[in-house]
Amino acid sequence: MSDDTTAPSTTPADTPADGPHVLAVVPAHVGGRAAGSGFAALLPAPARVTVVESVDEDPEALRTARVLITALSPVTAGHLAAAPELELVQCSSHGFDYVDVAAARERGVSVCTIGSSDAEKQNVAEQTFALMLALAKQLVPAHTALADADWALPRLKPSLTELSGKRLGIVGLGQIGQEVAVRGRAFSMDVVYAGRRRAEPEAEERSGARQMDLDELLRTSDYVSLHAPLTEATRNLLSAERLALLKPTAFVVNTARGALIDQEALADALESGALAGAGLDVFDPEPPPASLRLLRAPHVVLSPHVGGVTRETVVRIALAAAQNVAGFLAGKPAGDVVN
């Protein structure tokens, strides 16, 4: 890679100039050019790979790209219109909400995820329970108090609780939701779920979760964990009205997409005491602006979208995306097409 870290990086100069051009977009806040260069090495010759930190960074690379790989970087209708050679957009995630799928469909461009690889499910499920346990055991205020030489036990004792015996309401029983359900049962929780449709019998049997209407799930759950994809139908799924259905002793955990929750309404609920707390790994937008009220709301545990970026998960994601792109360039049908 060039010493000039502001310049796009490419594969070696001896790569055939007529090989298919791949544009890899890795924003700085998820690893940038260093991470993208490592990914580029996974693609076989004769692919030519250009690594950038935003789609707009190299207009010529976009114009000639046959494949665009994006790591949570938005791909708009304008980007698609500026890429006449484009045939495939590969999302390095289970989600695809940051790509204009309708515009891609109109252009005849396939949009793929890594959904069938299950690359992220283990760590997202673990992060979900890390947030749940931190909320139940008040780990953040306990740590902060002790670091300030404050023995906070008398103050924290009334709010400490157990997971055992509590109801865990999962919104979206896909692969990740199922992993969360299995862990919930291991903690002796009562696990229920809601979704657009009933899950397959095998998923219900494996997870041990019972289907429930969403509003009833919200009314009766002690922990509500979001694992739904972000679509126009699910944007602000937890609106002010739905948040008002939750018990004042309930906790909300979101490791899916920030826009599934009305963030202002959630801040209102936390500040007023209408909710016991929230654990958030995702925000809208990302990184969140310093003005986001949730960053200073009471009874929150926050993490910077780490649910899919352990050492193990990053390797699985990169391999899954690279394998799909390599297969496509070799003439095989693309996998996990969402449009």
Sign of CA dihedral 78, 79, 82, 86: negative
Q: What distance separates the 2 farthest-apart alpha carbons in the chain?
A: 70
Quote the CA–CA distance of 171 and 177 in Å, as a whole number.
8
- Point out the catalytic residue in the list 167, 257, 299, 316: 257
| Terminal Cα distance for the chain, rounded | 35
Question: Which positions ≥6 away from 256 have C-beta within 8 Å?
Answer: 95, 172, 176, 226, 227, 228, 229, 230, 282
Cα 95 to the center of its chain, rounded Å:
7
Q: Are 97 and 258 in contact (CB under 8 A)?
A: no
Would you call 198 a catalytic residue per the annotation? Answer: no
Is 63 exposed, middle or buried (CB count within 10 Å of its CB: 0-12, 13-18, 19+)? middle
Q: Which of 126, 204, 271, 286 is catalytic?
A: 286
Residue 79 annotated in active site? no
- Phi and psi angles of residue 254, each rounded to the nearest 5 degrees, phi first: -130, 110
Q: Which tokens sit at 114? A: 């890594």
Q: Would residue 257 show up in a list of annotated catalytic residues for this protein?
A: yes
Give alpha helix (H) positions in the chain. 32-40, 59-64, 77-81, 101-107, 121-137, 139-147, 153-156, 175-186, 201-207, 214-220, 240-243, 263-272, 311-329
Please list the active-site residues: 257, 286, 305
